[in-house]
Amino acid sequence: MTPEEIKNKIQTALPGTALKWVRDTLLIENPQDLPKVANFLKTSEEFRFDYLSSVTGADYLQYLEAVYHLYSMEKKTGPFVLRARVGRDQARIPSLVPLYRGAEYQEREAYDTYGIIFENHPDLRRIFMWEGFEGFPMRKDYVQEDSEILEASDIEWLEKHQVQVPEGMKKRAEELKKQGRRAVAERPGQPEPQ
C-alpha cells in the first residue's frame, strides 16, 4: 500500500486527525491523537500492528520527538513508524502503556533522558539515573555539572557526615546558591562561571 492510501485509511477511520508523511514515517500533528491512531492500527483487520518494537525520544532543537516502531506479529509485516512532536517546555504525550505493556520501561527511559512526560503512565519515574537527579541528560542543551565545584546541598551532606570542607569551596557554593545556578563544567576557552 502506498503511503497515501495508508494515510487516507487512517483518516477515514478517525476523522479529525491531522497526519503528515515525513521521511517514510507518519507524523501525528497533535500528540493527543496518538492513542487513537495506535489503537486503530492495532485492532483494525488489515493492519494488526500488535507488536511495539521500540519507543524512542529524540531532540531536534526546536522540538522533542517520540518515535514508535510498530510491527505485526500476525501478518509478519514490516516497520510502521509513528512520530509525535512536542515543545521543549510542555512535553506531554499520552502514554501507550494501556495498549502495549512493552512501552512501560521504554517510556520511562524517554522521560529520564529527554524529559518527555507521558500522561497515564502507571509509574513514571527515572529508570537509569538516581532519584533526585536534576536535568535530562540526552537533550542537546544539557551541560554536565562539574564534579570539582561543590554545591550547597553537597556541603550540607558532607558536614552532616563529619567531613571537613575547605572554606573556599563553601564560599563558592554559597555564591552559586545565591545566584540560583548549578555548578557547570568548564569548557576550554570559556570564562569561569562567576
> Which residues, including other chains, have CB under 8 Å from residue 49's CB and lie 6 or more apart?
41, 42, 70, 71, 72, 77, 80
Binding residue for other proteins (CB under 8 A) from 29, 137, 157, 179? Answer: 137
Which of 44, 128, 135, 185 is the binder for other proteins (CB under 8 A)? 128
Interface pick for other proteins out of 20, 101, 171, 177 (rule CB under 8 A): 101
Residue 129 found at the interface with other proteins (CB under 8 A) = yes
Binding residues for other proteins restricted to 76-95, rule: CB under 8 A: 76, 78-79, 81
CA dist list (Å): 142 to 118, 151, 191: 21, 18, 18
Q: Which residue stretch of 8-16, 121-129, 153-161, 169-177 sits at the interface with other proteins (rule: CB under 8 A)?
A: 121-129
State yes or no: residue 160 binds other proteins (CB under 8 A): no
**Nearest Cα residue to 68 out of 107, 117, 119, 114:** 107
Q: Is residue 105 a contact point for other proteins (CB under 8 A)? A: yes
Nearer to other proteins (CB atom), residue 29 or residue 123: 123
Residues in the chain: 194
Which grid cell is 161?
557526615
Give the integer Cα–Cα distance in Å for 41 and 50: 8
What's the CA gap between 40 and 30, in Å, rounded?
16
Map the footprint of other proteins across residues 3-62, applying CB under 8 A.
23, 25, 50-54, 56, 58-59
Minimum Å gap between C-beta 131 and other proteins is: 10
Residue spans of alpha helices (H) in the chain: 3-13, 34-43, 103-114, 152-160, 167-179
Q: Which residues bind other proteins (CB under 8 A)?
A: 23, 25, 50-54, 56, 58-59, 67, 69, 73, 76, 78-79, 81, 99-106, 113, 126-130, 137-138
